[in-house]
Amino acid sequence: MEMLISLIIGLLTAVGVFLVLRGRTFPVVLGLTVLSYAVNLFIFSAGRLVIDGAAVLNSGLNTPDPIPQALVLTAIVIGFAMTAFAIILAIRARADLGNDHVDGRLQTDGEKSK
Amino acid sequence: MSHLITLPIFIPLIVAIFQLFPFFEKQIERQRFLSIAGASLTVFVSVLLVMNAANGQVTLYALGNWDAPYGIQLMADRLSSLMVLLTSILLLAALIYASAGDDKTGRYFYPLMMFQAMGINGAFLTTDIFNLFVFFEILLIASYSLLIHGGGKHKTSAAVHYVMLNLVGSVIFLFALGIIYGTLGTLNMAHMAMRVRELSPDQAQLAQIGGLMLLSVFALKAAMLPLQFWLPRTYASAAGPVVALFAIMTKVGVYSILRIHGLVFGDHAGTLQDLGQDWIWVLSLLTLVIATLGVLSSPSLKRLAAHLVILSVGTLLIAVSFGTERSIAAALYYAAHSTFAGAALFLIGDIVAEQRVRSFDRIVAGRALAQPFAIGILFFVVAITLIGMPPMSGFIGKLLVMQSIDSNAHLIWAWPLLLISSLASIVAFSRSGSTLFWRTTGKSDGTNASARRKFVAVWLLVLAAPLMSIFAGPITEYTEATAQQLTQFEKDPTQIMGKGVIR
């Protein structure tokens, strides 16, 4: 299971980094979202992975660490708010600058100049 | 008054929430009054905190009475109290400046400023590293909105870069926290410092990755060399009062490096001893080089101020990279001085831009200023301070930093760069000053004079320069004691753990 989780986190991070490096705001926002998924999974697994563990209240032998779960909850909420803000900002940039490129201008070597 | 330490966080929070209620929401005058009153109260509280800390008292406050390491703990030692005081004074000056009219160009200006101050103060006071992340996010999301306050193309496009960069920064911060929690099993800084000493080698390697990732996040906030490109455009495009408060934001990054890498990955951290210190040393020198070039090539007064902020970060990080008591004391004095002077220069740039109408603050010949004399004096004092000439505080700050370098191998690199950067500042200031004030066309009819409140706010910041120079004795005593206190914490982190000392 460790292998699977780490592969998923790695894949999500790779996809996220690739998208963040794109030139338009929409893929960048998507990339940031994917990155935050990756990081949430990562923090979650920082408390060690346990199969068939007891829930917190039942004080069994295999109690998982509750702190990473609390951290992930906070990180999800913050990530959610930040994504919302980034989208609104991207829309505003599209309106203000006339295009959705992150630098605010289209590449001149493309099919469309200026 | 055991709850005193929470007030620098709660006063801005409560003021901000009240301003969203109907009685205040549409009433700018009431908002102004409430914000300035709140900011003054915060200044008062932080003065009390500094006075407590100056007696050597370390205030620990367990939130919700949950002892560390289980609960989050606030701490007001000498360092935190000093930084909170800086923030509060800066906030007060920025609000007074904004109340002259800049607050009307966008909505929710005051609540956002208050949230930003709350985030900054919280970041300085907390001892829990995840809580630090949360306060970082609070100050960032407020700064995102403040950055586009007033609107306009430049602000939007600068904000896109700033927001995206910082969101990636937050993701890296979270990855680092995950690694650190996975290896050290704790988030309390003092507890981390205890655990890091007993790591097994394979765990230490992981913790090293975490520590270096944290360093890169703080470097992004502090605008250290490879991560400083966002700063000039962002700061130059933001509204005057907003960027005055932003002047402390780079210091939040430097503070976090000092706090976490000094305490957790300091001299006693076993295999992870002095993690990243060599990196900081080299990069701080390169930061100085790039900032010097930036200062010389600045096309406008605000850009010049932004590059001078990077310059001050470079100087600060040189002192921080040594980590000796003397150099940390010097760094703290320099941090205080450069924050005030930098913020003042941004505000002066804003006033100049307002009075020259068409040519803004660009360093080109243009319309004469309406109040050349009043602005000229301010500009002159700030220029002398930022260049580092006597008798202002910049001279003492730079001298302290240069004196604190004790090995010749380091001295050869640092001294020439520091002195050349001063020379570059002289050139840049004489060029911009003579162009802005003397190469003018026609006479101003005096109709676009700036409000008196703006000058009051700038004077509040500018006066710090001569005052810090006159009272350099007591201030350096305080900063030296701060540095000693930090080394003590590093030797024995249990003293800042509060009651719940658990191995």
pLDDT of the residue at A111: 46
Model ipTM value: 0.91
- Select the residue of B141, B175, B177 nearest A81 (Cβ to Cβ): B141
Could you tell me which CATH number the domain at A2-50+62-97 has? 1.10.287
pLDDT of the residue at B463: 92
Q: Which residues of A touch B141 (CB under 8 A)?
A: 81-82, 85
Question: Does residue A112 surpass a pLDDT of 80?
Answer: no
pLDDT band, very low/low/confident/very high, at A108 (cuts 50, 70, 90): low
Nearest CA in chain A to B184: A46
Work out the mean pLDDT of chain A and round it to a whole number. 84
3-state secondary structure (DSSP) of residue B92: helix
Q: Which residues of chain B have pLDDT under 70?
A: 1, 499-503
The predicted model gives A6-14 an average pLDDT of 95
Question: Does residue A105 surpass a pLDDT of 80?
Answer: no
CA distance A62 to A55: 9
| Phi, psi (degrees; rounded to nearest 5) at A50 | -130, 130
- Select the residue of B134, B153, B171 nearest A97 (Cβ to Cβ): B153
- Token pair 């301003």: residue: B19
3-state secondary structure (DSSP) of residue B251: helix
3-state secondary structure (DSSP) of residue B309: helix
Alpha-carbon gap: A31 to the closest alpha carbon of chain B (Å): 10
Question: Does residue A39 surpass a pLDDT of 60?
Answer: yes
Q: Which residues of B touch A78 (CB under 8 A)?
A: 134, 137, 170
The predicted model gives A9-26 an average pLDDT of 94
CB B242 within 8 A of CB B147: yes
Domain boundaries, chain B: 277-489
- Select the residue of B144, B151, B178 nearest A85 (Cβ to Cβ): B144
Question: Does residue A8 surpass a pLDDT of 90?
Answer: yes
Instruction: Tell the burial category of B272 from Cβ atoms under 10 Å away from its Cβ (0-12, 13-18, 19+).
Output: buried
For residue B352, which of B337, B372, B332 has the smallest C-alpha distance? B372
pLDDT of the residue at B443: 75
